[in-house]
Amino acid sequence: MEKVVIKRVDSQGRVVIPKEWRDKFNTDEFVLVLKEDKIELYPRVSNLTKLIDSIDVEELPGDWHELKRKVYRL
The predicted-structure confidence for 20-74, as pLDDT tens digits, reads as follows 888 888 888 888 999 999 999 988 876 667 667 777 777 777 888 887 887 777 6
Q: Is residue 59 part of a domain?
A: yes
pLDDT tier for residue 9 given thresholds of 50, 70 and 90: very high
Q: Is residue 40 part of a domain?
A: yes
Q: Is residue 5 part of a domain?
A: no
Q: Is residue 28 part of a domain?
A: yes
Q: Is residue 7 part of a domain?
A: no
pTM: 0.52
CB 21 within 8 A of CB 43: no
CB 40 within 8 A of CB 30: no
Q: Is residue 41 part of a domain?
A: yes
CB 60 within 8 A of CB 66: no
Range of the domain at 69: 19-73
User: How many domains, the chain?
Assistant: 1
Buried b (16+ CB within 10 A) or exposed e, 4-25: eeeeeeeeeeeeeeeeeeeeee
Q: Is residue 3 part of a domain?
A: no
What's the rounded Cα separation, in Å, for the pair 16 and 7? 7
Q: Is residue 4 part of a domain?
A: no
